[in-house]
């Protein structure tokens, strides 16, 4: 398959050998599961259970709210211990609404769980509805509700489904192992998604450092002439959706647009596997495969974990730490987030836990920028990171926006290539957050002004209505007084009637 050249990118040591040879293992059920209601982009789910309630595996725990949201289901059978707050799987460590479930050890599926014998006999709308009801979101890390993407056929003219099997982040091997071990199931999910999207062409992109996955998916797809396997060069960030699509079809996605604008929808292999399970068996998304790696880990592994499992439970299953890690990261080392503690639970978007030693993190002293332009050559978006950072340093965030700040995907290629070890990604993330805060403040100010103007207009209308009512009453009173005066004057001017004549007295009786 012909591939097209894209700009930028870097070649970090992938270090996938630590876990790539480890088959997927099922984690023993923990004593408690802490299931956050916010495991996706969009509005958090709303609780549908109460404390003390018994649930079966796959039962609905929380309903999705609005179009961009996803429901949450029970990862196992057991008792609801509470609906409250618990530290989030986020660098902030702030508490978020969470359902705590105590497993009963039976791991019993709910009776209502039922799949479809032939998903290809369903209408696209029904496939999307079932995927939405199963709570399936993008498992590559973005966690965008998968059903929303499956409904893009209503708005865009689509022609290609791209499966993003690049998995370009160092250390991570969960998608690699899933494509190797469950290639037929992954392919079935891919074909179901293509049917829902109404597209004929399917391209599965896999980097060349995963030859076993390439071979397994090629065998699974050999019966289908409309499915191609693209062997991608091993370069970061090949897994960036827009850059992958450009590599495969040779067209660039419009700035701040969607790949659907050029007729392409991209999904992750793990998402395809979740769609397969949701349609064939009726299973909601209650577990996922996670890579546990890094030189500080005693036994790097690929583990299928129930959602809501604490990081500490997973680390214990992998033998704990050989040495105290210098950094604990959720996701990959390039775009992952530091974990605040090992108490936090795993969520749908958690594809890795990395315990890195000081040797691996290689934190060096930050040096001044020498304008060598290494960051410019590495940027896959064609930006000038050193220029944007210079504007951010002096507080000129608008200047950074004019130079493409909002087009930055935060991949970290610039920081990786920088010989001065300048934390460029942190500069850009700070600036994006500050611009977002300013935007919210401006929107709030505009909304406050609008409400104030509405209130002023409303009060003026009330005052005007009162004045008009008062004027009307005055006119009515004046008209009434005038009518009374006219009536009185008319009464006084009318001639008085003469008194009626007295009756004649009877003649006096004559004397006898």
Does the pLDDT at position 511 exceed 50?
no
Would you say residue 504 has pLDDT above 60? Answer: no
Helices (H), 287-331: 311-317
Output the CA–CA distances (angstroms, integers) from residue 72 to 95, 138, 151, 269, in the order listed. Answer: 18, 14, 20, 21
Residue 123 CA to residue 494 CA, distance in Å, equals: 93
- Rounded CA separation 338/354 (Å): 9
Is there a contact between 1 and 203 (Cβ–Cβ < 8 Å)?
A: yes
Whether the CB-CB separation of 133 and 71 falls below 8 Å is answered with yes
Helices (H) and strands (E) in the chain, counts: 14, 17
Percent of the chain with pLDDT over 70: 96
Contact 162, 3 (CB under 8 A): no
- At 77, is the secondary structure helix, strand, or coil? coil
60: pLDDT strictly greater than 90 = yes
DSSP-based three-state secondary structure for 441:
helix
Distance of CA 315 to CAs 291, 342, 500, Å? 11, 8, 124
* pLDDT given at position 509: 47
Quote the pLDDT of residue 510: 44
180 CB neighbour count, 10 Å cutoff: 20
Report which of 346, 376, 283, 314 is spatially closest to residue 73, judged by C-alpha positions: 283
Residue 90 has pLDDT above 90, yes or no: no
- pLDDT tens, 360-415? 988 788 999 999 999 999 999 999 999 999 999 999 999 999 999 999 999 999 99
Task: Report the percent of the chain where pLDDT is more than 90.
Answer: 83
Cis peptide leading into residue 395 (ω within 30°):
no
Q: What pLDDT was estimated at residue 502?
A: 56
How far is it, in rounded angstroms, from Cα 468 to Cα 470? 5
pLDDT (0 to 100) of residue 499: 60
Mean pLDDT score of the chain, rounded to an integer? 92
CB 171 within 8 A of CB 19: yes
* The pLDDT of residue 28: 96
Each residue of 225-283: pLDDT tens digit? 999 999 999 999 999 999 999 999 999 999 888 999 999 999 999 999 999 999 999 99
Distance of alpha carbon 204 from alpha carbon 322, whole angstroms:
37
Tens-digit pLDDT profile for residues 6-57:
999 999 999 999 999 999 999 999 999 999 999 988 889 999 999 999 999 9
Domains, the chain, ordered by start: 115-283 (3.40.50.11540), 367-466 (1.10.1060)
Exposure string over 108-135, b if 16+ CB within 10 A, otherwise e: ebbeeeeebeebeebeeeebbebbbbbb
Q: What is the pLDDT of residues 317-351, one digit of tens each?
A: 999 999 999 999 999 999 999 998 999 999 999 99
Q: Is the pLDDT of residue 500 over 60?
A: no
> CA-to-CA distance for 477 and 471, rounded, in angstroms?
10
Cα–Cα distance measured from residue 329 to residue 449, given in angstroms and rounded to the nearest whole number: 43
Q: Which residues are annotated as a binding site for [4Fe-4S] cluster?
A: 369, 372, 375, 379, 408, 411, 414, 418
pLDDT in tens, 186-235: 999 999 999 999 999 999 999 999 999 999 999 999 999 999 999 999 99
**Binding-site residues from annotation:** 369, 372, 375, 379, 408, 411, 414, 418
Cβ-contact 295, 360 below 8 angstroms = yes
pTM of the entire structure?
0.86
Please give the Cα distance from 288 to 268 (Å, whole number). 13
């Amino acid at each position: 398959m012909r591939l097209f050249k894209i700009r930028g990118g870097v070649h970090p040591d992938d270090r996938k050998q630590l876990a790539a040879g480890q088959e997927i293992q099922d984690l023993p059920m923990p004593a408690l599961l802490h299931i956050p209601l916010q495991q996706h982009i969009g509005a958090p789910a709303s609780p549908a259970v109460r404390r003390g309630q018994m649930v079966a595996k796959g039962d609905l725990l929380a309903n999705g709210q609005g179009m961009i949201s996803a429901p949450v289901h029970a990862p196992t059978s057991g008792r609801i211990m509470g609906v409250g707050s618990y530290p989030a799987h986020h660098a902030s460590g702030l508490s978020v609404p969470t359902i705590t479930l105590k497993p009963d050890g039976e791991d019993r599926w709910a009776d209502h769980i039922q799949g479809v014998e032939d998903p290809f006999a369903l209408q696209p709308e029904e496939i999307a509805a079932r995927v939405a009801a199963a709570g399936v979101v993008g498992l590559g890390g973005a966690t965008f509700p998968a059903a929303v993407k499956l409904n893009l056929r209503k708005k865009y003219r689509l022609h290609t489904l791209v499966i993003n099997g690049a998995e370009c982040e160092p250390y991570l091997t969960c998608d690699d192992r899933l494509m190797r071990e469950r290639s037929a199931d992954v392919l079935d999910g891919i074909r179901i998604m293509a049917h829902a999207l109404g597209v004929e062409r399917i391209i599965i992109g896999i980097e060349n450092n995963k030859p076993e996955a390439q071979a397994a998916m090629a065998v699974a797809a050999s019966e289908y002439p409309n499915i191609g396997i693209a062997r991608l060069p091993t370069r970061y960030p090949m897994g960036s959706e827009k850059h992958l699509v450009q590599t495969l079809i040779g067209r660039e996605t419009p700035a701040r647009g969607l790949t659907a604008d050029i007729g392409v929808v991209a999904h992750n292999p793990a998402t395809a596997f979740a769609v397969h399970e949701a349609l064939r068996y009726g299973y909601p998304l209650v577990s996922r495969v996670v890579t546990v790696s890094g030189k500080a880990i005693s036994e790097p592994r690929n583990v299928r974990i129930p959602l809501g499992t604490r990081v500490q439970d997973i680390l214990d299953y992998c033998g704990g730490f050989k040495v105290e890690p210098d950094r604990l990261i959720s996701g990959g080392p390039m775009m992952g987030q530091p974990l605040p503690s090992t108490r936090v639970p795993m969520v749908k978007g958690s594809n890795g836990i990395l315990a890195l030693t000081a040797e691996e993190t290689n934190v060096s002293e930050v040096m001044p920028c020498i304008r060598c332009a290494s960051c410019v050559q590495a940027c896959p978006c064609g930006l000038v990171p050193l220029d944007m950072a210079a504007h951010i340093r002096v507080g000129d965030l608008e200047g950074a926006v004019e130079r493409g700040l909002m087009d930055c995907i935060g991949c970290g290629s610039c920081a990786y290539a920088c010989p001065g070890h300048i934390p460029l990604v942190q500069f850009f993330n700070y600036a994006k957050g500050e611009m977002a805060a300013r935007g919210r403040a401006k929107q709030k100010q505009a909304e406050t002004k609008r409400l104030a103007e509405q209130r002023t207009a409303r009060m003026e209308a009330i005052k005007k209505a009162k004045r008009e009512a008062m004027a009307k009453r005055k006119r009515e009173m004046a008209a009434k007084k005038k009518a009374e005066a006219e009536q009185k004057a008319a009464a006084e001017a009318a001639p008085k009637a003469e008194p009626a004549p007295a009756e004649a007295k009877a003649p006096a009786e004559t004397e006898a």
